[in-house]
Amino acid sequence: MNQVIELLNAHRSIRKFTDRNVEQSTINTLVQAGQSAATSSFIQACTVIQVNDRSKRTSIAEWSGNQSYISDAHTFLVFCADMNRHQISCDMHKADMLSGYTEQFITATVDCALFAQNVAIAAESEGLGIVYIGGLRNKIDLVTETLKLPNLVYPVFGMCIGYPDQDPEVKPRLPLDVILKQDHYDDRDDPSLIAEYDQQVKAYYQNRTGGQKDMSWSEQISGMLQKEARPHMLHFLQSRGFLQK
Amino acid sequence: MNQVIELLNAHRSIRKFTDRNVEQSTINTLVQAGQSAATSSFIQACTVIQVNDRSKRTSIAEWSGNQSYISDAHTFLVFCADMNRHQISCDMHKADMLSGYTEQFITATVDCALFAQNVAIAAESEGLGIVYIGGLRNKIDLVTETLKLPNLVYPVFGMCIGYPDQDPEVKPRLPLDVILKQDHYDDRDDPSLIAEYDQQVKAYYQNRTGGQKDMSWSEQISGMLQKEARPHMLHFLQSRGFLQK
């Protein structure tokens, strides 16, 4: 296994950071590495807002469910799926833009995620730690207003970046046979493979919490999926020009 | 700049591959590197279908707009956003799963993209080349049927992987000032920055095509956005259990 793959496999989210500064030139390098990711039909639909303002950080931390590391991390980036600059391009050529398609929502969202994953890997290759912040979608309307995002732009997730002040274990993942299928989908063995994996996850949590947390993967998932999942999202996205057809 | 960031910045899509074999153990290593990516609330919502069957490959190549490299590349993977195994987990615990939320569609799709980008980087770190295939969404119903995907699973994109038999130039990306904003969105300078960038893209295409292609970025984008974008997507996804609310 080469060193790049070792780096990828060593990923774990970091939620505690030292005070050490991250140079702006480093942040620029990370974002440029993000730009190097593949982009669907060259749309380049990701915009990054670097949030430096302390009060904005505090608000976003609170809205995201009191995730204090959003305030504490040296750097906090918000990755936005952006079709505003495509509107600008259409205006430059006096072209009528057809927007609102679900397909466009997918390509812009995927573009953002590929971009962000490059930023994450570039950061980790520099000894930095990161954590993705999906929690900002709790109050996506307030985040959008705070960052002055125009129509056709939505914040997909955030990312905290800084030098790690913790060294958590890598979390065990589902067995390869659940994830990788040959030629067609076949889930006959999945229940028994998931049940085996559940024991691994229980052991991981018990070890990490000194016996406090006793939870398997399927328990965690089934608990989560009995609750509504940010039911405001569809209406919000439609109001911003997405997912209308 | 370290070697990992150099690798990220060297990305370009490869659409012509040599006959050289890729070992199954290598493919497994790439997929496991994919699993190491961050996953929203630990949902692990990506399933990979490795398509080996020649006739399935030929069909998908045709449906994707006659992209022959889907047949020719040694390996072809389809990355699926998968909430079927969450249904299995809920069934294991006799829990009623609430599904169909737009939020769940976003987390599963983003999970897939982060996963796939790790696979892409792991592949490139091994000297392999890759190209993402969004074109399979042209006939997403037929791809879904061919791969026997159950309800709550959809194919987000494919990826061809093999040893490169071409060495295309890296495509120039938008200026950093368009992509990275401080504290809030501000697009006042974007039109002039895009106009400057347009000249760079024109030069790139002219060089790549020996003067045949004379197209700027904003022209390409505005041309594309005057056409419908896979208008079948919303209805299809809703019929498979996604984006219902």
| Chain A residues close to B53, C-beta within 8 Å | 183
Cβ–Cβ gap B29/A1 under 8 Å: yes
Please state, in angstroms and rounded to a whole number, the distance separating the CA atoms of residues B152 and B240.
6
pLDDT computed for residue B1 by the predictor: 83
Identify whether residues B85 and B184 lie together within a single domain.
no
Please state, in angstroms and rounded to a whole number, the distance separating the CA atoms of residues B223 and A95.
8
Identify whether residues A121 and A146 lie together within a single domain.
yes
- Measure in Å the smallest separation between the Cα of A233 and chain B Cα atoms: 6
Cβ–Cβ gap A36/B220 under 8 Å: no
Average model confidence (pLDDT) for chain B? 97
CB-closest option in A2, A148, A220 to B126:
A2
- Measure in Å the smallest separation between the Cα of B27 and chain A Cα atoms: 10
pTM value surpassing 0.80? yes
Identify whether residues B127 and B204 lie together within a single domain.
no
Domain count, chain B: 2
**pLDDT tier, B159 (very low <50, low <70, confident <90, very high otherwise):** very high
Q: Does B221 touch chain A (CB under 8 A)?
A: yes
**Residue at B202 is within a domain:** yes
Strand pairing class (A129-133; B46-50): unpaired
Please state, in angstroms and rounded to a whole number, the distance separating the CA atoms of residues B207 and B166.
16
State the burial class of residue A214 (Cβ atoms within 10 Å of its Cβ: 0-12, 13-18, 19+). Answer: exposed
Q: What is the pLDDT of residues B191-225, one digit of tens each?
A: 999 999 999 999 999 998 898 999 999 999 999 99
**Residue at B220 is within a domain:** no
Helical axes A217-224 vs B84-92, angle rounded to 10°: 100
Q: Does B224 touch chain A (CB under 8 A)?
A: yes
| pLDDT of B127 strictly over 90 | yes
CB-closest option in B4, B226, B243 to A121:
B4
Identify whether residues A10 and A97 lie together within a single domain.
yes
Identify whether residues B164 and B180 lie together within a single domain.
no
Range of the domain at A108: 3-168+228-239
Q: State how far the alpha carbon of B189 is from the alpha carbons of A87, A144, A227, B147, B196, in Å.
A: 14, 20, 44, 46, 11
**Residue at B244 is within a domain:** no
Identify whether residues A11 and A47 lie together within a single domain.
yes
CB-closest option in B9, B51, B181 to A36:
B9
What's at A111, amino acid-wise?
A: D
Identify whether residues A200 and A135 lie together within a single domain.
no
Residue B41 structure tokens:
């609330």
**Residue at A245 is within a domain:** no
Instruction: Please give the average pLDDT of every successive group of 10 residues along chain A, which has 245 residues.
Output: 96 98 98 98 97 98 97 97 98 97 98 98 98 98 98 98 97 98 98 97 93 94 97 98 98
CB-closest option in A13, A29, A107 to B1:
A29
Cβ–Cβ gap A219/B93 under 8 Å: yes
Q: What is the pLDDT of residues B5-62, one digit of tens each?
A: 999 999 999 999 999 999 999 999 999 999 999 999 999 999 999 999 999 999 999 9
| CATH assignment at residue B82 | 3.40.109.10
| Chain B residues close to A216, C-beta within 8 Å | none
Q: Does B204 touch chain A (CB under 8 A)?
A: no
Identify whether residues A160 and A183 lie together within a single domain.
no
B137: closest chain A residue by CA? A103
**Residue at A102 is within a domain:** yes
- Measure in Å the smallest separation between the Cα of B121 and chain A Cα atoms: 8
